A and B are shown apart, each in its own frame.
Chain A
Amino acid sequence: MKARLPTLFGTLLFLALWEGIARLGWLGPSLPALSEVAAVLERPAMRDVFLRALRVTAGSAALALLLGAAVAIALALLASLLPPLQRGLDVLASGIYAVPAIAFGPVLILLAGPEATPILLGIVSAFFPIHVALGSQLRYDNPARRDFARVVGATRARVFAFVDIPAAVPAFLDGLRLAAPAAMLGVVLGEWFGAPRGLGVIIISALQNIRIPQMWTAALLCVACSLAAYVLLTLAHRRAVARFSA
């Protein structure tokens, strides 16, 4: 709470500096003033284009986040049912993480086509943070609680449903909030590989046609989206910690 005020002040200072430096033209025409960037959205036709692109990109990112979480959960369940598989899965996951997402680009374009590439790349990027968060939780959760549940006569399935899963909820949300910006990044990268629609497409075509304010508007919309997702999931994570952690 204490950090709120200075953060707000610092942000305002940063925005004011930006506006000033851009108005004075110190960094050349490549740095437009914030008011110019915002003005892009004033024309109704332009605003429609951006809103439609935003809906496509944000929708893809949300879907990629969900599917990435589903894959991570499936693998975590698999590994907790069959522990010998664990190490191989971890190596595979960190291998996929180490590979720069852009390297999957040509492969995905060939296999899935440019339409599906953004979502697939988003899934690949979102998967890893959730995988790590779930893995550390399912391996190091509180054994005393499980033992207690077993002693009072819970079956294995009930221990899993009523001890293990609730205990994993905070870690899952922690992974999810880190994965949200990653999903957005993956989707935009995928759109750069020639998708038909989306904010990434606007960024690339604005870069090629030197429409600087448009490029900034599209990029800042992406950033705002992932910032909003991160903040929302952080709040959810906090509530989950308060609810599920003893």
Chain B
Amino acid sequence: MTRSIVTNLFSRFWGLLAVVLLWDGLVRWYGFNVIVLPDPVAVVRAVFTDWRIYGYNTAITLTVAVTGLLLGSLLGTVLAVMGWVSRVVSGMVAPAALVVRSVPFIILIPIFSRLLGYNLTMVVLVVTLLSFFPSFVLVSSGLSSLPPAAVDLGKVFGATRWRALIHIALPAAIPGLFASIRLSASRAVLGAMVAEFLTGIDGLGKLFLLARGDLESERAFAAALVAALAAILLVYFAERLEAAIQRRMT
């Protein structure tokens, strides 16, 4: 029993384990100075010594990322549902799909920060914009896969437009909404951190900005580790949420 759990864990996580071992081996083999490359234990220790700083900044970045993620995804969903009702908005789906796949929005963050000012609201708006397009495109495609017969059937039974929206369009929109939340989760954290990095607003991104200035490798690595864990946690949570919704909807 325990053996199969260990094998299972190993087959799942051997890649991550290999990275940590490789890193530790590299430090030991070359006997790197702590400024050049700190070993994993030193980095973890650095996180625990300054846990207040890392905790505070992680809390800010995650709050901003989640707020923007939810706002953007909801906005995209609302617009997609409106597009389902009206022809004008649905004409925008194809160009939006092209934009979402081909434009690296994060490169435009310096521009948004100039336009919107250096403050927390700007970071939230940036993440909102990042998450908006994927949800608009995904929800629209979910709605367009609705068979026309479903709407006709509703009409035959005397559903008003409003009721058709609630009982037919909304259930069809929800899987797309949660899929887009999962897809945008890691980009949301990245967007928030880039905005913080560029403008020096509090958060994990600012820790990188500071770490770049003074050669404190331990703290730079520690910030990277914390950011990685926070993002992985958010993505994992979004995946679980999507799976749970999918189970309920089918």
Contacts and interface: CB of A to CB of B under 8 A. Distances in A.
Interface of A: 3, 6-7, 10-11, 27-28, 30-31, 84-85, 87-89, 91-95, 97-107, 109-111, 177-178, 180-182, 184-185, 188-189, 192-194, 200, 203-204, 206-207, 210, 212, 215-216, 219, 222-223, 226-227, 229-231
Contacts of A231: 102
Given A91-B16, A99-B227, 11 more contacts: A3-B95, A92-B16, A98-B232, A99-B231, A99-B232, A102-B194, A106-B224, A184-B107, A185-B104, A204-B198, A216-B111
B15 A107 contact: no
A206 B111 CA distance: 10
B208 A222 contact: no
Nearest to A222: B107
Interface in B1-24: 10-16, 18-19
A122 to B, nearest CB: 11
Nearest to A4: B94
Assign chain B's interface to a size class: 35 or more
B244 to A, nearest CB: 19
A86 to B, nearest CB: 9
A189 B106 contact: yes
Interface of B: 10-16, 18-19, 36-37, 91-92, 94-95, 98, 101-104, 106-108, 110-111, 113-115, 185-186, 189-190, 193-194, 197-198, 205, 208, 211-212, 217, 220-221, 223-224, 227-228, 231-232, 235-236
Contacts of A99: 186, 227-228, 231-232
Nearest to B108: A219
A184 B106 CA distance: 10
B122 to A, nearest CB: 12
